[in-house]
Amino acid sequence: MKRQLMGFLVALSAAHAGCGGAPDFTSTAGDDDLLGTSGDALASAATLYDDALGSGWQDWSWATHSLTATRPVYAGTRSLSATFGPWTGLYFHHAGVPTAGYGFVELQVNPGSTANPALALYASVGGVAKAPVALNPTCAGGALKANAWTRCRMPLSALGAANATLDGLVVMENAGRTLPVMAFDDVRLAASTAAPSAPTALKATGSATDIALTWGAVTGATGYHVYRATAQTGTYTRLTASALTAASYKDTGAAVNTTSWYAVTALNAAGEGARSAAVSGSKTGPVGGASKWVSGYYTGWNADDYPPEKVDFSALTHILVGRVTPNPDGTVDAGFDNSNGPAIARTLSSRAHAAGRKALIMVGGAGEHDGWVGAATAANREKFVQNLLKVMDDHGYDGLDIDWEPVEEADKPDLLALVQRLRQARPTLLLTFPIGWVNGNFATDPSLKWYAQLAQSLDQVNVMSYEMIGVWEGWDSWFTSALKDESGTHPTSVESSLKAWVNAGIPKEKLGMGIPFYGLAWRHITGPRQSFTSWSDYVGGDNSFTYKKIQALSKTGALQWDAAAQANYVTFSTPVEDGTVRWITYDGPEAIQAKGQYAKANGYGGTIIWTLNQGCTDPATGANPLLTEVKKAFLPSPTTP
What is the number of alpha carbons within 13 Å of residue 95 lying toward its C-beta?
Answer: 4
Do residues 211 and 271 touch, judged by C-beta distance below 8 A? Answer: no
| Position 48 in a domain | yes
Tell me which residue range forms the domain holding 93: 2-25+39-190
Alpha-carbon separation of residue 456 from 252, 271, 425, 434, 506 (angstroms): 33, 26, 16, 14, 8
| Position 198 in a domain | no
For the chain, percent of residues with pLDDT exceeding 70: 78
Question: What value does the mean pLDDT of the chain take?
Answer: 84
Candidate from 252-256, 384-388, 564-568 with smallest mean pLDDT: 252-256
Candidate from 132-141, 184-193, 280-289, 389-398 with smallest mean pLDDT: 280-289
Euclidean distance between the first and final Cα of the chain, in Å? 62
Q: What's the angle, vertex CA 443, arms to CA 484 and CA 148, rounded to 5?
A: 105
Same-domain pairing of 420 and 489: yes
Same-domain pairing of 452 and 362: yes
Final residue belonging to a domain, choices 281, 313, 347 = 281
Same-domain pairing of 209 and 116: no
For residue 451, which amino acid is it? Y
User: What CA–CA distance (Å, rounded) separates 20 from 449?
Assistant: 37
| Position 63 in a domain | yes
Strands (E), 269-375: 273-275, 279-281, 293-299, 318-326, 332-333, 358-364
Strands (E), 548-638: 558-562, 567-576, 581-586, 606-610
Phi, psi of 445 (to 5 degrees): -55, 125
Do residues 297 and 604 touch, judged by C-beta distance below 8 A? Answer: no
Do residues 110 and 72 touch, judged by C-beta distance below 8 A? Answer: yes
The residues, any chain, with a CB within 8 Å of residue 51's CB and separated by 6 or more, are 22, 25, 27, 76, 77, 78
Same-domain pairing of 151 and 19: yes
Tally of structural domains, the chain: 3
Separation of CA 395 from chain center: 24
The residues, any chain, with a CB within 8 Å of residue 447's CB and separated by 6 or more, are 409
Final residue belonging to a domain, choices 164, 190, 216 = 190
The pLDDT value recorded for residue 252 is 60
Same-domain pairing of 149 and 215: no
The pLDDT value recorded for residue 103 is 85
Same-domain pairing of 595 and 462: yes
The residues, any chain, with a CB within 8 Å of residue 546's CB and separated by 6 or more, are 305, 517, 518, 614, 615
| Position 548 in a domain | no
State pLDDT tens for residues 108-155. Answer: 999 999 888 999 999 999 888 888 888 988 888 778 989 999 989 898
Same-domain pairing of 114 and 218: no
Region 194-210 average pLDDT: 61
User: What CA–CA distance (Å, rounded) separates 97 from 100?
Assistant: 9
State pLDDT tens for residues 559-586. Answer: 999 999 999 999 999 999 989 999 999 9
Paired with 223 in beta bridges are 267
Same-domain pairing of 176 and 228: no
User: What CA–CA distance (Å, rounded) separates 575 from 260?
Assistant: 51
Region 473-488 average pLDDT: 97
| Position 581 in a domain | no
Alpha-carbon separation of residue 618 from 30, 271, 305, 311, 498 (angstroms): 40, 57, 8, 12, 33
Alpha-carbon separation of residue 174 from 49, 60, 81, 140, 260 (angstroms): 22, 18, 17, 19, 45
State pLDDT tens for residues 608-631. Answer: 999 999 999 999 999 999 999 999
| Position 249 in a domain | yes
Q: What is the pTM of this model?
A: 0.59
| Position 325 in a domain | yes
Q: Identify the band that residue 176 occupies on the pLDDT scale cut at 50, 70 and 90.
A: confident
The residues, any chain, with a CB within 8 Å of residue 177's CB and separated by 6 or more, are 84, 86, 117, 118
The residues, any chain, with a CB within 8 Å of residue 394's CB and separated by 6 or more, are 334
| Position 170 in a domain | yes
CA dihedral 463, 465, 470, 472 (to 10 degrees): 50
Do residues 451 and 419 touch, judged by C-beta distance below 8 A? Answer: no
Same-domain pairing of 102 and 224: no
How many residues are recorded in the chain?
A: 641
CATH at 247: 2.60.40.10
Q: Identify the band that residue 33 occupies on the pLDDT scale cut at 50, 70 and 90.
A: very low
Final residue belonging to a domain, choices 160, 190, 220 = 190
Q: Identify the band that residue 185 occupies on the pLDDT scale cut at 50, 70 and 90.
A: very high
The pLDDT value recorded for residue 209 is 52
User: What CA–CA distance (Å, rounded) separates 110 from 150?
Assistant: 6
Same-domain pairing of 92 and 133: yes
Paired with 571 in beta bridges are 558, 583
> Does residue 611 have a cis peptide bond before it, meaning omega lies within 30 degrees of 0?
yes
Alpha-carbon separation of residue 96 from 121, 125, 391 (angstroms): 18, 8, 50
